[in-house]
Structure 1
Amino acid sequence: MSIYDKLKELGITLPAVATPAAAYVPFVQTGNLVFLSGHIAKKNGTPWVGQFGKDITTEEGKTAARAVAIDLMGTLHAAVGDLGKVKRIVKLMSLVNSTGSFTEQHLVTNGASELIGQVFGDKGAHARSAFGVAQIPMGACVEIELIAEIA
């Protein structure tokens, strides 16, 4: 089954690349690596605002991180033209807007990691970091960046 067949089976339509909100580009390719800039969680087209440990739950966060993964795949598709060219998802880095006492950043980030694994199979097994941070641009609850290797 192709990656696009898997996306269709999951009911996922890849979005167009979002216009950067500041002085950066959505992706950069160097050699066989593609680096995607951080994508923030959105809900109904606007930043998904919240802070874990205060007004958003871990389960809501997994849903937010999954939504970010969909946006990242849309940008990756735009960067390489065909997700079938992806040799490996190398790494995800997740920033989770958290209070000082919240310690489930890794569980929030699972929302993205699990979807990447579903879509890419063995090629989706990746290294990962999940950090708790005091704030993310526009008050978003999660921001994730991705590195992929292209065949």
Structure 2
Amino acid sequence: MSVYDKLQDQGITLPPVAMPAAAYVPFVRTGNLVFLSGHIAKKDGKAWVGQLGRNMSTDEGKHAARAIAVDLLGTLHAAVGDLNKVKRIVKVMSLVNSTPDYTEQHLVTNGASELFSIVFGESGQHARSAFGVAQLPMGACVEIELIAEVA
């Protein structure tokens, strides 16, 4: 089953690449690696604003992380032209806008990690970091960046 069939089974349509909000590019390819810039969570086309541990639950954060994963897949598709060329999701780094006493950043990030495993199977399993941070651009609740290996 192709990656696109798996996306369709999940009811996912890939979005176009979002234009950067500052002085950077959405992705850089070097050799067989593609580095995707951080993508913030969006809801209804705007930054998904919130802080875990204050006004957002872990479950809401997990949904935000999954939404980011969909955006990242759209950018990765633009970078390589065909997601079936992805050999492996290598690394995911997640920044979670959270209160100092919030400790479930890893569970929030599972929203993205689980989708990558569904879409790419074993090749979607990756190394990962999940950090709690005091604030993110535009007040977003989560930001995630990704490194992928491609054929």
Where do residues 1-151 of structure 1 align in structure 2 (5 Å cutoff)?
A: 1-151=1-151
User: Quick one: distance in 2 between partners of 1:124 and 1:21?
Assistant: 28
User: Once the two structures are superposed, what CA deviation does each residue of 1:88-108 show, in whole Å capped at 9, x if it has no partner?
Assistant: 000000000010000000000
User: Quick one: distance in 1 between partners of 2:10 and 2:59?
Assistant: 19
1:128 to partner: Cα distance: 0.2
TM-score (norm 1): 0.99
Which ranges of 4 or more aligned residues in structure 1 deviate by more than 3 Å? none
Which 5+ residue runs of structure 1 have no aligned equivalent? none
Which 5+ residue runs of structure 2 have no aligned equivalent? none
1:2 to partner: Cα distance: 0.2
User: Quick one: distance in 2 between partners of 1:14 and 1:106?
Assistant: 25
Per the alignment, in what secondary structure is the counterpart of residue 62 of structure 2? helix
TM-score (norm 2): 0.99
What is the percentage of aligned positions where both structures have the same residue? Answer: 78
User: Quick one: distance in 2 between partners of 1:104 and 1:125?
Assistant: 20
Letter paired with 2:47: P
Per the alignment, in what secondary structure is the counterpart of residue 116 of structure 2? helix
Number of matched residues?
A: 151
User: Quick one: distance in 1 between partners of 2:108 and 2:8?
Assistant: 24
User: Once the two structures are superposed, what CA deviation does each residue of 1:50-89 show, in whole Å capped at 9, x if it has no partner?
Assistant: 0011000000000000000000000000000000100000
Per the alignment, in what secondary structure is the counterpart of residue 121 of structure 2? helix
Per the alignment, in what secondary structure is the counterpart of residue 39 of structure 2? strand
User: Once the two structures are superposed, what CA deviation does each residue of 1:17-49 show, in whole Å capped at 9, x if it has no partner?
Assistant: 000000000000001000000000000100000
User: Once the two structures are superposed, what CA deviation does each residue of 1:4-27 show, in whole Å capped at 9, x if it has no partner?
Assistant: 000011100000000000000000
